[in-house]
Amino acid sequence: EAQVTQNPRYLITVTGKKLTVTCSQNMNHEYMSWYRQDPGLGLRQIYYSMNVEVTDKGDVPEGYKVSRKEKRNFPLILESPSPNQTSLYFCASSLGLNSNQPQHFGDGTRLSIL
Amino acid sequence: AQSVAQPEDQVNVAEGNPLTVKCTYSVSGNPYLFWYVQYPNRGLQFLLKYITGDNLVKGSYGFEAEFNKSQTSFHLKKPSALVSDSALYFCAVRDALYGNNRLAFGKGNQVVVIP
Within 10 Å of residue B89's Cβ, how many Cβ atoms? 23
Residue A98 DSSP code: G
pLDDT at A13 over 70: yes
Tell me how far apart the alpha carbons of residues B4 and B33 are, in angstroms, rounded to a whole number. 10
pLDDT score for B98: 64
Instruction: Name the residue among B6, B44, B51 with its Cβ closest to that of A100.
Output: B51
Consecutive sets of 10 residues in chain B, 115 residues long: mean pLDDT of each?
Answer: 89 97 92 94 92 92 96 97 96 78 88 96
pLDDT score for B96: 75
Please indicate whether, in this complex, the C-beta atoms of A48 and B101 are within 8 angstroms of each other.
Answer: yes
Instruction: Name the residue among B94, B101, B107 with its Cβ closest to that of A50.
Output: B101
Query: Please, are residues B19 and B78 in contact by the beta-carbon 8 Å criterion?
Result: yes
Please indicate whether, in this complex, the C-beta atoms of A42 and B108 are within 8 angstroms of each other.
Answer: yes
Please indicate whether, in this complex, the C-beta atoms of A107 and B94 are within 8 angstroms of each other.
Answer: no
Of the pLDDT bands very low, low, confident and very high (cuts 50, 70, 90), residue A79 is: very high
pLDDT digits (tens, 9 = 90+) for A28-58: 999 999 999 998 888 999 999 999 999 999 9
Query: Please, are residues A91 and A105 in contact by the beta-carbon 8 Å criterion?
Result: yes
